[in-house]
A = this chain, B = another copy of it.
Amino acid sequence: MEPEVYPMNGGDDSYSYTKNSNYQREASNVASEMINEAIAKNFDVKGLTSTSNTLRLADLGCSVGPNTFIAMQNVLQAMEKKYHSQGLSTKMPEFQVFFSDHASNDFNTLFSSLPPERQYFAAGVPGSFYGRLFPKSSLHFVYSSCALEWLSKVPEDLLDRNSRAYNKGRIHYASASEEVFNAYTSQFEKDMGIFLDARAKETVVRGMMVLIIPGLEDDIHYSQLLPGLTLDILGSCLVDMVNAGLLDQAEVDSFNLPMYFPSPKEMARLVDRNGCFSIERMEMMRPRSKTDVPLDPQTLVMHLRAGQEGVYTKHFGREIVDKMFERAFRKSAEFSPLLDLSSTMKSQLFLVLKRK
């Protein structure tokens, strides 16, 4: 079955992902230093270029830019630096960068905003990363940031009225029962297994993979999950609308966000089960540096809207979703404590893998 698809908002208007993805960009900024270190330490330029005069990079879940361009530029510079530092300046390969996302992603916007001064050959690859996207052993560096938290679909049990995982009155597992949480976990394990299998085939031996996924620190209960708390507020807006007679209860009961936020322990277990990658580095990090301008609640809601609107609209229709985000805007006071938390909590999982 085709995975379900909810692209980021395309184009470049006021609700677009292009204009509302600073938060994701800041997460990349914090990560970029760590990526530089990982490339300097682990990227095997000698070994990798002995078999190919081209290095192929992929950003999986690239959306429409500009974050993907900034991230790929950073990776390229770190690689070039490594070539120079190893005395291999004359052996510098050519770079090909594959920007990949669902076929419904706005590739027209992506392509028309490619940096004109780029030092690489650009290509777009449409399709779900829960499946093969590239030929065997064709990628040297795989990157994915703020994308793998999207499951391929809503866990089926959540929609079964007779299941103990039926998620009445909630849109996510954050404040839900253990059964609901377990259904999400099991879907994530299945999806991540497929993801790692596909990448293991596509990545050359000694190739590198950097994953950034909003996640949960080990040994913290999922009810304390920061993005989950945010989703609870959005869910409460929907429940308010049910109470105001604007929306059927059943509509809310049958909706669940297909997003999951894994812990390091969980990821380590799945990487180990796959068996093709070694973990070179894994840690939870703060998504924003101390020098970043503090997020205000309105900006947070705009970001949520640009990144997640599609999945709500598909279920509830545009009118309800407009009203939901208006209500979320008015509830900004409730977001404030979460924003304070977000400046101190390590809510981003950073993972460097190497293909064995």
Contact = CB atoms under 8 A, between A and B. Distances in A.
Interface string A121-143: 11111110000111111100000
Contacts of A88: none
Interface in A96-137: 96, 98, 103-104, 106-108, 111-112, 114, 121-127, 132-137
A53 B53 CA distance: 16
Interface string A307-351: 000000000000000000000000000000000000000000000
Contacts of A53: 135-137
B135 A94 contact: yes
A103 B94 contact: no
A100 to B, nearest CB: 9
A95 B136 CA distance: 10
Given A53-B137, A96-B134, A135-B53, A111 B126 contact: yes
Given A123-B98, A124-B126, A125-B122, A135 B54 contact: yes
Contacts of A126: 111-112, 114, 122, 124
A333 B55 CA distance: 57
Number of copies of this chain in the oligomer?
2
A129 to B, nearest CB: 13
A60 B333 CA distance: 54
Contact of A54 (B95, B114, B138): B138
Interface in A31-59: 53-54
A11 to B, nearest CB: 11
Given A111-B103, A124-B123, A126-B114, A96 B54 contact: no
Interface residues of A, number: 28
A104, A122, A124, A133, most chain B CB atoms within 10 A:
A124
A332 B135 CA distance: 49
A220 to B, nearest CB: 39
Contacts of A135: 53-54, 94-96, 121
Contacts of A96: 134-135, 138
B103 A112 contact: yes
A112 B104 contact: yes
Interface string A50-82: 000110000000000000000000000000000
B121 A123 contact: no
A121 B108 CA distance: 20
Contacts of A138: 54, 96
Given A103-B111, A122-B125, A124-B125, 17 more contacts: A53-B135, A53-B137, A54-B136, A94-B135, A94-B136, A96-B134, A96-B135, A98-B123, A103-B114, A104-B112, A107-B107, A107-B111, A108-B108, A111-B126, A114-B126, A121-B134, A121-B135
17 contacts: A53-B136, A53-B137, A54-B136, A54-B138, A94-B135, A94-B136, A103-B114, A104-B112, A106-B108, A107-B107, A107-B111, A114-B126, A121-B125, A121-B135, A124-B124, A124-B125, A124-B126
6 tightest CB-CB pairs across the interface, nearest first? A54-B135, A111-B126, A124-B124, A94-B135, A103-B111, A123-B123
